[in-house]
Amino acid sequence: MKTSDRKPTVYIYEAMANPACIKEICAGLEEEGIPFTIFKIMNENVKTLAIDAASHSRLRVGLGITTDQAALQIRNCPVDKPVFLIELENSQLRKLGQNAARAVKGGVFK
């Protein structure tokens, strides 16, 4: 599929992540009205997942989720560290999704 054919969505690259964690992050994106697409990827490095997701997303925002961490990356930001990197704790997951949506909208992070 050509880049121009892809629907503009936030890409979520996940590697064996807990479905409940993915659901909570997606709920944060949905609350802000931003579409997302989830891909199962075999790489278990959360930073690499987020960087790759951001580089492929037409919205320039990507999330990486593994069994114990999640990361938010914005294309063209320094790749040596993600914008957000969290351990998978329920209280932070929805906020991570909301912050990904705010990155798309150009808003303020929580």
SS (H, E, C) the chain: CCHHHCCCCEEEEECCCCHHHHHHHHHHHHHCCCCEEEEECCCCCHHHHHHHHHHHCCCCEEEEECCCEEEEEECCCCCCCCCEEEECCHHHHHHHHHHHHHHHHCCCCC
Q: pLDDT above 90 covers what percent of the chain?
A: 73
The pLDDT tens digits of the residues spanning 73-84 come to 999 888 787 789
pLDDT, tens digit, 9 for 90 and up, residues 46-105: 999 999 999 999 999 999 999 999 999 999 888 787 789 999 877 899 999 999 999 999
Q: Which domains does the chain have, with CATH numbers?
A: 17-104 (3.40.50.10150)
pLDDT value of position 1: 45
Please report, in angstroms and rounded to a whole number, the separation of the first and last CA atoms in the chain.
35
Q: Is the pLDDT of residue 3 over 70?
A: no
